[in-house]
Amino acid sequence: MKAPDSYMGVLLFDSRDPKKYPIKLSTDQKKLKSTTQQLIASLTPTPSPSQQQSSYSAVSNLFTSGPSAFKKDKEKEKDKDKDKDKEKDERDRDSDKEKEKDNTEKDLKNPTVSNPRILETFIHLFGLETSSPKDVNTLYKFYRFWCASLEGKMVTNKGYLKLRYPTSKSDEIELNGMDNWKNVMCYLDALLVSMFYSSSNFDFLLDSHVDESLSPDLQIEIEQLKVILRFIVSLLRAGEYIPFTIMKQLCIMLSSLGCDLTLSYTQQDSLQLYEFLAECLSLPLITIKLDIIHSGKLNVKDDLRLIEERALLISVPTSINYNSIAENGSGSESRSNSKADGKAAEPNQNNDDKNVTLKGTTTEGATNVSMNGGEDKKATSTNAKGPTTEIPTVSSSDLDEGSNRETLLPP
């Protein structure tokens, strides 16, 4: 996560020098941090006695084998080392790459490694000023949301209660949404709400799958983007209010990946942002079969095509007279050409007989579009099937102040 050079604030993934970019806390905020650290330590599971006994027995075996057995074992090890020296060099090359990859994944899943100052960051991002029990619970709650996001988990969209044991009507989950940063980020807010709040069709985009075709540095940045998106989506589905400071972190992350729209401080098109997210998250392309039918000689290369698109764009009419469509059966009056399961005519005085028909089917999500005029064109759009990987989901009550809060703490 690379912030602009002029940015001096906090980052969710911060690899900068703490001395050059310090996070200043007041006395109450420092007390809030220490109290929350104690709460996290008290709820972190400790190793079981059996695990401690196994580690103790492994060490004690070195002293119970006796000196003669120790010498024999040492000679056998020398003989084995000679044979393994040649194989070791070859394995080291492969193991180094795997270790780097494993360490990177472990660092991303560990909140203290991905950002040692994560608590200080949350204190600033959520504007927590006091060390009251309410602020301690709030900081701990957001920390748990963050840990779940690092582990590849996300709150399900099927929940309707914040707490496992609700006590009032206010415990029901209601959409609070995001704060509109600079009053120009509504295109981003609306896109995330439409994709993730009430639907789980796009959840597979936020799984922990790694695209091997990307460079190692880009893989890390894409995984960081997924973590931030999982964090925001979990807050959204849990009915939490998302301040503009969190949305600003997402904008910085998208900007570091090459999306200049998010830091332009102006209104932008949601479609452009959707296409950028689809490219970053490896959304499968929509394969469209286009057959051009005409009275001339058939040319297979020109008349029969397969094209791939990120989205199928269909115009939305401003107004439709459904009664006229039902009575006449044909769209003779001036209407837009986007009514499904009906016929519509474009308002054209010279071409009154040119009809455009959009037919919808229910077989495997396909959509057939046929156009009759000077040249007949037929296009068939088939929805591409994405990967079947399911992202693990958790209930918002497991991340809130309810019981069994320790069940999702990282190991």
Per-chain mean pLDDT for the chain: 74
- Are residues 174 and 262 located together in one domain of the fold? yes
Mean pLDDT of all residues in 33-58: 71
Is 10 in contact with 124 (CB distance < 8 Å)? Answer: yes
pTM score, whole prediction: 0.66
**Three-class secondary structure of residue 13 per DSSP:** coil
Residue 338 lies in a domain: yes
pLDDT at residue 62 above 60? Answer: no
pLDDT band for position 399 (cuts 50, 70, 90): low
- C-alpha of 56 from chain center: 42
Full residue range of the structural domain in which residue 327 is found:
286-382
pLDDT at residue 306 above 80? Answer: yes
* pLDDT score for 108: 53
- Are residues 319 and 260 located together in one domain of the fold? no
Nearest to 253 by CA among 21, 15, 12: 12
In percent, how much of the chain has pLDDT > 70? 61
- Are residues 345 and 260 located together in one domain of the fold? no
**Type of residue at 375:** E
- Are residues 299 and 194 located together in one domain of the fold? no
Provide the domain count of the chain. 2
- Are residues 263 and 346 located together in one domain of the fold? no
* pLDDT score for 278: 92
Rg (CA), the chain: 29
* pLDDT score for 123: 95
| CB burial string 172-203: b at 16+ within 10 A, e below | ebeeebbbebeeebebbbeebbebbeeebebb
- Are residues 348 and 279 located together in one domain of the fold? no
- Are residues 188 and 243 located together in one domain of the fold? yes
- Are residues 274 and 157 located together in one domain of the fold? yes
Which helix (H) or strand (E) segment is 371 a member of? Answer: strand 367-371
pLDDT at residue 253 above 70? Answer: yes
Q: How many CB atoms lie within 10 A of CB 205?
A: 22
Residue 296 lies in a domain: yes
- Are residues 276 and 291 located together in one domain of the fold? no
Residue 377 lies in a domain: yes
pLDDT at residue 43 above 80? Answer: yes
Bridge partner list, 155: 394
Residue 239 lies in a domain: yes
**In this structure, are strands 286-293 and 154-155 parallel, antiparallel, or unpaired?**
unpaired
* pLDDT score for 114: 62
**Type of residue at 119:** L
- Are residues 174 and 277 located together in one domain of the fold? yes
Residue 71 lies in a domain: no
Between 329 and 25, the more confident residue is 25
Residue 378 lies in a domain: yes
Residue 2 lies in a domain: no
- Are residues 145 and 164 located together in one domain of the fold? yes
- Are residues 226 and 346 located together in one domain of the fold? no
Mean pLDDT of all residues in 16-32: 91
Residue 301 lies in a domain: yes
**In this structure, are strands 367-371 and 355-360 parallel, antiparallel, or unpaired?**
antiparallel
* pLDDT score for 116: 81
pLDDT at residue 345 above 60? Answer: no
Is 262 in contact with 251 (CB distance < 8 Å)? Answer: yes
pLDDT at residue 2 above 80? Answer: yes
pLDDT tens for each residue of 207-250: 988 888 888 889 999 999 999 999 999 999 999 999 999 999 99
pLDDT tens for each residue of 141-184: 999 999 999 999 999 888 787 777 777 777 788 888 899 988 89
